[in-house]
Amino acid sequence: MAEENNTTSMTGEEFAARLAEENREALDRLGQLSAAGEPDDSLTVERLLHVALKNELEATEIAALWMGTTSELDVKLALARQVGDEAKHYRLISDRLREMGVDADSIDPRREGDSPLFEYLRQLQSTTARVAAGQFTREGIALVRNQHFIEYCLSLGDQKTAALYRDHIQPDEQHHHELGRLLLARYASTHDEQQIARQAARRTLELAEEIQEMARLKSGITRAPGC
């Protein structure tokens, strides 16, 4: 009983701050792994933007799937905004690829199949889990990876792609992440909800790291943007 009293004492606000701290360590690790090693010659901005398209499409689709099955109005509207933003990111990245001479219309990221993170997120039913995994944590991952990607573009002299991410995509991902934090503070208000949120955040980070490591080992892909 004493333990229960102890564990229910954290407010949603306090929990969101705690989870941000807990995520920080995993995000730092993920960022370091993302930018680890010298990239080989086959790693081009163009290749990384292909990966980005898949991430943006999956982010769009998850938010759209959840929007229809989330009853809380504030979360539903946050997801609606996210659907629009992620689809816009897809278009902006396609436009950039076109400028680079790529036939972007011939790309269909669905050909590669759904990622394990997409499959995990898709089956989440709890609003708190969705907010913790999809908005708060996944968008936090995007912020870290995009920053490494921006630095990589700048190191190659690709100012235009760097500016696209810095000036357009990152501010939206920051907004999604902050909205996730706000909603997490609102809905992770009980011990049980906090446990659900923590577990969803951890699994999201684990899957993101596994996918990232797999891409590095199989295809030499590092510094990829997105989540």
Write out the residues near Fe ion by the rule CB under 5 A. Answer: 56, 86, 89, 139, 173, 176
The first and second tokens of residue 135, run together, are 């908005």
Q: How far is the CB of 51 from Fe ion (least distance, A)?
A: 13
- The backbone torsions φ and ψ at residue 43, rounded to the nearest 5 degrees and listed phi first, read -85, 105
Nearer to Fe ion, 15 or 136 (CB): 136
SS3 assignment for 133-149 = HHHHHHHHHHHHHHHHH
Q: How far is the CB of 93 from Fe ion (least distance, A)?
A: 9
The first and second tokens of residue 81, run together, are 């905004």
Report which DSSP code applies to 37: S
Q: Round to whole Å and give the CA distance between 142 and 165.
A: 11
Q: How far is the CB of 42 from Fe ion (least distance, A)?
A: 25
Q: How far is the CB of 176 from Fe ion (least distance, A)?
A: 4
Nearer to Fe ion, 139 or 158 (CB): 139
Q: How many residues does the chain have?
A: 227
Nearer to Fe ion, 61 or 173 (CB): 173
Contact in structure between 69 and 127 (CB atoms under 8 Å): no
Q: How far is the CB of 46 from Fe ion (least distance, A)?
A: 18
Nearer to Fe ion, 54 or 89 (CB): 89
The first and second tokens of residue 94, run together, are 């396609």
Nearer to Fe ion, 129 or 164 (CB): 164
B/e letters for 153-180, b = 16+ CB within 10 Å, e = fewer, are beeeebeebbebbbeebbebbeebbebb
Q: How far is the CB of 10 from Fe ion (least distance, A)?
A: 27
The first and second tokens of residue 28, run together, are 């730092």
Contact in structure between 192 and 4 (CB atoms under 8 Å): no
Nearer to Fe ion, 145 or 176 (CB): 176
Q: Round to whole Å and give the CA distance between 117 and 163.
A: 28
